[in-house]
Chain A
Amino acid sequence: MNKAKFQRFWEKFGTLCILLLMFVAFAIATPIVKDGKQYFLTQNNMIQVLLQSIVYMLLAFGEFFAILLAGIDLSVGSVACFTGVVIAKMALAGVPAFFCVIVGLLGAILMGTINGLLINALDLHPFVVTLGTNTIYRGVSLVITGGNPVYNLPQWVKKMASYIGPIPIPVILAAILAVILVFFTTRTVAGRNLYALGGNKMSAWYSGIDTKKYTLLAHVLASLLAGVGGIVMLARVGAAEPTAGDGYETYAIASCIIGGTSFFGGKGRTVGVVLGGITIGTIFNGLNILGVSSFWQKIVMGALIIGSVALEKAVSNTAARS
């Protein structure tokens, strides 16, 4: 395979290679560390890996649009939590499931709108705005709940995370969303324009793209998708914790970056984000099976995030040089 071909191959399949490498590593390590039997590479565990990945993936779907514009959204974890809290509170009050979900997602959209409007109106970097709103949104959840978890929810809440056949509903949901997003990013005018805006804001403006409205759109999408992630979080736990999703922006950002989304804007693919999310889920799952303590998991997690992005970059750099 020549240089140019390999570069193209790596650009497309680099993230997948890293993920497979991780699978192999865990598949070999678990029997050695445990009693000789395979715990990682089983059908059951693979579904667990997916299920664990879904929340990170959904938050990362949202994060993707913020990063695509060379920005960032630090509030995705708090928005996810808020959505869960709103739905839980309404469910507890006996509101029908459908309305709970709609109102919860409208709440997420509202938060994204606030992010977008603040970024546009104050002309501040999204980092600054979402750093602030992240705390504000978290505070709103704490105020609504009085700091206590919302539990004793009706049956339908947990049912949202149940299985259809062998496949969990959240996995199906994420798959459908992924397909929609692939279509949106590659086949719609709005999706294309977001890439254009991320690539060069001034050129986008002079090409006729309404840069402010598109910035708003990106942040609404970011929060809406984070809200969907919040629903999955709520359904899996069966209760809404006002501290849920705290720090998840890290995993959302990591999923995007591992998936090849460029921090400089204008570059990245939905499929990459899917794989990035699964990579994060795989690391957590593998470390759990290996019996690594949750404290150490944090340390290893951070190192693996840096390591996997560095490896991906190193391979493509080497390919470019050779």
Chain B
Amino acid sequence: MEYLVDMKNITVKFPGVLALDDVSFQLKPGEVHVLLGENGAGKSTLVKVLSGINKPASGSVTVGDKHFERLTPEDSVNCRISIIYQELSVVNELSIAENMFLGKLPTKKIGFMPVVDYGYMREVASKYMGEIGLQKDPDTLVQNISISEKQQVEIAKALSTEARIIIMDEPTSSLSIQETENLFNIIRGLKKKGIGIIYISHKLKEIKEIGDRVTVLKDGKYVATKEVADLEVDDLIPLMVGRKVKNMFLNTEEDVSKNEVLFSVRNLTRKDGTCENISFDLHRGEILGFAGLIGAGRSECMEGIFGAKQISSGEITLKGQKLDIKNPYQALKKGIAMVTENRRETGFFANFPIWKEVAVSTSLKRSGLGGFSGIVHVDEERSAAETATKQLNTKCSSIDQMTVNLSGGNQQKVIISKWLAVDSDIFIFDEPTKGIDVGAKSEIYQIMRNMANAGKGVIMVSSEMPELLSTCDRVIVFREGRMSGEFENKNLTEEQIMYAAIHEN
């Protein structure tokens, strides 16, 4: 069998991480080959080897009759590989035709002067748009068409380059059911032309509908390749998950679910609709995990609780008292703390040394007049920062060191120190171990458990199931902005979580 693409034993290393470990992958002409795996499994990394962005440390790629050690972006274009990213890369300010010819505008000469040949462009654009049934004037500005039409523009553009291989990265993530069906029809048309399609998706239902074969990756490693025809989609879940977890279970022996309810949320819906109708209870001394795929609405829900983003409805109760939180200042005052996901963007201050960083929220909580009055007690703040850095084992030259110059794990500890100093009742951690080395990770789990043992309520949003299973007492699963499962962490498995996270009910 002749393969369109034959990737053999690809290994890609990033600083400190083995992103792909000896992965092989083949694509046949006219097939839809689905790449499946969790966030961080290596799907995008593999695809970026084909587009020439990632340079493999070892392995080889054969495209048609051409053999490469590593592709350059130019090779990728010459091999007629097209990628349609999740974040579409069309230019809104240009027309459909101009987008299709971006970077290679056809010209004609008027006298000596070369000018853009709009007539030719329109003609060619219409031809390829017609092939996939996109009924628009090629002169329409792209900003005036829908997302699914933009995607079709990209497909037409790929066809116009006579692409033989088209890669689609989660193409249906922002499409309606109707639009998805339409896309599938286009894909079926592409298959008939002998084009090979690499299709990245989380949605198991789609695999059955459009896929021919599926390859599962996990933690940068190849797991299996299956024919879709002889498989039930649920069979795939165990392949995506189920790694060996080192036993470092931190969940308590005692049954914290019998403790009093410290904090409860009822029917929380965010104004922008990113999460809807969320209800849960958090007990004293409990670590409650929130699982789900990226974009499932977990962080969005927490931002809503914390007052950082607007909610349209919902009731929040802390220690039996109803709260009306309109902004993070009120959350802080009422005793809710949140360690955000993006340290650099929403966590620390690039212009502050550690001690000021730690002091910010404390001084704010003490201050009156909505956070405007009061003086700062520098000596007190410095000694509090000294204590906190020692307590959390933060590695720094001194508390005068700038937070921005610390490693990711230590930055995280500084931010945690900031919220520990405030003495809150509820601690929300959003992806607390993202981009942090293993040692610091386990320290952070321990910090969270200590907080819980001290009678606080702890919420942990994480996309890493092993850490949820090893740290949390209970796990709530989100799918597409809603709660899709709730489990006591007793004999709970990654399969159960994954099933709730991706399975259409």
Name the residue among B306, B370, B374 with the largest chain A CB count within 10 angstroms. B374
Question: Which of B187-195, B258-266, B324-332, B444-452 lies at the binding interface?
Answer: B324-332
| A200 interface neighbour in B349, B356, B361, B367, Cβ under 8 Å | B349
**Seed contacts A189-B373, A203-B348, A208-B331; 15 additional CB < 8 Å A-B pairs:** A189-B366, A190-B373, A192-B376, A196-B352, A196-B360, A200-B348, A200-B349, A203-B349, A204-B349, A207-B328, A208-B364, A209-B329, A210-B371, A217-B372, A265-B351
> Does B482 touch A at the CB level, under 8 Å?
no
Which residue of the partner chain B has the closest CB to A268? B351
Indicate with 1 or 0, residue by residue over A195-218, a CB within 8 angstroms of chain B CB atoms: 110111011111111100100010
CA distance A53 to B367 in the complex (A): 36
Chain B nearest CB from A7 CB (Å) reads: 13
**Distance in angstroms between the alpha carbons of A148 and B327 in the assembled complex:** 49
- Name A178-204 residues within 8 Å CB distance of B: 187-190, 192-193, 195-196, 198-200, 202-204
> Residue of A at shortest CB range from B349?
A199
Indicate if the CB atoms of B350 and A189 lie closer than 8 Å: no
With an 8 A cutoff between CB atoms, is A313 at the interface? no
Q: Decide yes or no whether A267 CB sits under 8 A from chain B.
A: yes
21 pairs, A vs B, C-beta closer than 8 Å: A187-B375, A187-B378, A188-B374, A188-B376, A189-B363, A192-B363, A195-B352, A196-B349, A196-B356, A199-B352, A203-B348, A205-B308, A206-B306, A206-B308, A206-B328, A206-B338, A206-B340, A207-B328, A208-B329, A208-B361, A208-B365
Which of B329, B332, B364 touches A189 (beta carbons < 8 Å)? Answer: B364
- Given A187-B376, A210-B329, check contact A195 B351 (CB 8 Å): yes
Q: Is B455 an interface residue (CB 8 A)?
A: no
**Contact check: which of A203, A209, A266, A267 meets B371 at CB < 8 Å?**
A209
Q: Are A207 and B418 touching (Cβ within 8 A)?
A: yes
CA distance A188 to B374 in the complex (A): 6
The answer to the question of B491 belonging to the interface, with a C-beta cut-off of 8 Å to chain A, is no
Q: Which residue of A lies closest to B348 (CB)?
A: A203
> Is B466 engaged at the interface, CB distance under 8 Å to the other chain?
no
- Chain A residues with CB under 8 Å of B367's CB are 189-190
Interface string of B326-344 (1 = CB under 8 A from A): 0111011100001010000
| Interfacial residues of chain A within 229-255, with CB under 8 A of chain B in the complex | none
Is B178 an interface position by the 8 A CB rule?
Answer: no
Q: Which residues of A contact B (CB under 8 A)?
A: 187-190, 192-193, 195-196, 198-200, 202-210, 213, 217, 265-267
Given A189-B372, A199-B351, A213-B372: A207 in contact with B361 (beta carbons within 8 A): yes
Size category, B interface: 35 or more
Chain B residues with CB under 8 A of A265: 351
- How many cross-chain pairs have Cβ atoms below 8 Å apart between A and B? 99
Determine the residue in chain A with the shortest Cβ distance to B308: A206
B345 interfacial by beta-carbon distance below 8 Å:
yes
Residues of A within 8 A of B373 (CB): 189-190
What distance in Å separates the Cβ of B336 from its nearest Cβ neighbour in chain A? 10
Q: Which residues of A contact B327 (CB under 8 A)?
A: 205, 208, 210
Contact between B328 and A266, CB atoms less than 8 A apart: no
Residues of B within 8 A of A208 (CB): 327-329, 331-333, 360-361, 364-365, 371
Docked-complex contact B351 and A190, CB < 8 angstroms: no
Complex CA–CA separation, A116 to B389 (angstroms): 38
Q: Are B376 and A266 in contact (CB under 8 A)?
A: no
Please give, as numbers and ranges, the residues of chain B lying within 8 Å of A207 by CB-CB distance.
328, 332, 360-361, 364, 418
B247 in contact (CB, < 8 A): no
- Closest 4 A-B residue pairs measured CB to CB? A266-B351, A199-B351, A208-B332, A199-B349
Q: B328 touching A205 by the CB < 8 A rule? A: yes
Residues of A within 8 A of B375 (CB): 187-189
Q: Which residues of B from 474 to 488 have beta carbons under 8 Å from A?
A: none
Chain B residues lying within 8 Å of A199, measured Cβ to Cβ, are 349-352
- Docked Cα-Cα span, A190 to B367, in Å, equals 9
By beta carbon, the residue of chain A nearest B352 is: A199
Choose from A192, A213, A266, A267 the contact partner of B370 (Cβ within 8 Å).
A213
B346 lies within 8 A of chain A by Cβ: yes
Q: How far is the CB of B315 from chain A (nearest CB, A)?
A: 22
Residues from chain B with a CB closer than 8 A to the CB of A213 are 370-372
* A225→B444 CA distance, assembly (Å): 47
Minimum Cβ distance to chain A for residue B220 (Å)? 32
Interface centre among A192, A195, A210 (most CB of B within 10 A): A192
Q: How long is the Cα–Cα vector from A195 to B367 in the complex, in angstroms?
A: 16
Picked from A187, A193, A267, the residue with its CB within 8 Å of the CB of B364 is A193
B residues 370-416 near A (Cβ < 8 Å) are 370-376, 378
In the bound complex, do residue A193 and residue B371 qualify as a contact, i.e. CB atoms below 8 Å apart? yes
Verify if B347 is at the interface (C-beta below 8 Å from A). yes
Q: Chain B residues with Cβ under 8 A from A203's Cβ?
A: 345-349
Complex Cα spacing A283 to B397, Å: 42
- CB A214 to nearest CB in B, in angstroms, measures 8
- Residue pair A266, B347 in contact (C-beta under 8 Å): no
CB-nearest residue of chain B to A202: B346
Q: Are A198 and B351 in contact (CB under 8 A)?
A: yes
**Min CB gap A188→B, angstroms:** 5
In the assembled complex, which residues on chain B have CB atoms less than 8 Å from the CB atom of A190?
A: 367, 372-374
Query: Considering the chains assembled together, what is the distance between the CA atoms of A198 and B338 in angstroms?
Result: 21
**Residue in chain A with minimal CB distance to B363:** A189
A59 → chain B closest CB, angstroms = 24
Chain A min CB distance to B201 (Å): 31
State the CA gap A257–B351 with chains docked (Å): 17
Q: How far is the CB of B13 from chain A (nearest CB, A)?
A: 32
Question: Considering the chains assembled together, what is the distance between the CA atoms of A115 and B371 in angstroms?
Answer: 22
